[in-house]
Amino acid sequence: MATPGKPNLKPLAEQVIVITGASSGIGRLFAVRAAEQGASVVLVARSTNAIETLAAELNQAGKGRALAVTCDVSIEQQVQEVASKTIAHFGRIDTWINNAAVGMWGRLEQSVTKDAVQLFATNFFGTVHGCQAALPLLRGNPHGGTLMNIGSEVSDDYVPLQSMYASSKHAMKGYTDGLRVEVQEIDKMPINIVLIQPQAVDTPFSQHARNYTPQEPALPHPLIDPQTVVDAMLKACTTSTRNQPVGGVSYFSATLAKVLPKVADKFVSGMIDKQHHDAPAQTPAGILYQSTEQMDKTTARTHPAPNAAVPDIKPKNIGHLEDPLPAGAAAAAADK
């Protein structure tokens, strides 16, 4: 049993863990590693085939148990259904991880309001929906549990071309910090509320982003291995913690922004030409309004493994930008 304000977190092998954004990248790798250690995992994503295939593989391996639930986290009712299906299948929730997110490349003056609203619907309100679905169940767990939100180094920092994405992650941090005070300090509930803040990670994140620029987007180097982030997430499932930066750049950029903000402004301004490959944009619509499976189907594109090498970035002058989204893709996005 947990004591007031202090969860008695179970070993990973005894936990039921919900992870959103489980079809690729960090979410998929976390699900695999958690199941390998005996956890029961609920795989949540819009890409039905991807999560059902992964669930079958994990169940066949026989270490942990897995359940796939198709869900768009921007839709509150669908997130509530994830919670209901988890309780029906496993009887409880020990850890809930809000990981689903989408990126956006382009200057703030370029951003389309409809796109920005959808980005916040996924990144911020998807997190809110997850927390609201999970909290009543974690409150009812006699051992307490963990509510984990996957933020970013830009939860404390900022970077040109990804400023709308950074805004959503700033909002997530404010929400997480406020929720922690209400739940842990005021209500004295034994629920560990943690924000994981990784630096840029070697995943298909940039390939999935809504891209207003003419070049293929890329995350600025150095990139960290997704396993490093997963290790921090696994530890947070069983160890009470607060906000956890992951990677040296995450610590550095957050400190610089707080201590020397003018220096930070000059530093990040130099990244504007380091966030593109020397190639035309391939999937400018990204996954903002569609799943990765739908994007791959329409572009005949496949994505590398989470730790696949990223091509060297050759800086491009992108001082004058325009929206390269083809008319057909724009019309399709508008219909979503």
Q: What local confidence, expressed as pLDDT, does residue 2 receive?
A: 60
Task: Write out the two tokens for 268.
Answer: 């990040």
Q: What is the CATH number of the domain that holds 192?
A: 3.40.50.720
Q: Provide the whole-model pTM.
A: 0.85
Residue 158 is a catalytic residue:
no
The answer to whether residue 203 sits within a structural domain is yes
Does the pLDDT of residue 81 top 60, yes or no?
yes
Residue 2 lies in a domain: no
Rounded CA-CA distance 305/138 in Å is: 33
Confidence (pLDDT) at 319: 37
pLDDT digits (tens, 9 = 90+) for 301-320: 444 444 333 333 333 333 33
pLDDT tens-place string over residues 91-112: 999 999 999 999 999 999 989 9
6-17 pLDDT, tens per residue?
788 999 999 999
Residue 181 within a domain: yes
Give the active site residue among 158, 165, 212, 289: 165
Confidence of residue 296 (pLDDT cuts 50, 70, 90): confident
- Give the CA count within 13 Å in the CB-facing half-sphere of 234: 20
pLDDT at 5: 65
Domain that holds residue 178: 12-335
CA gap 123, 98 in Å, rounded: 9
pLDDT at 115 over 90: yes
The total domain count for the chain is 1
SS3 (DSSP) at 144:
coil
The stretch 205-233 carries a mean pLDDT of 93
Give the whole-angstrom CA distance, residue 208 versus residue 279. 16
Give residue 258's Cα distance to chain centre.
24
pLDDT of residue 308: 38
- Residues 129-179 have pLDDT tens digits of 999 999 999 999 999 999 999 999 888 787 889 999 999 999 999 999 999
Distance of CA 316 to the CA centre of its chain: 28
To the nearest whole number, what is the mean pLDDT of the chain?
87
Asked, for residue 216, whether it belongs to a domain, the answer is yes
State which of 148-157, 268-277, 326-335 shows the largest mean pLDDT. 148-157
Radius of gyration of the chain (CA): 19
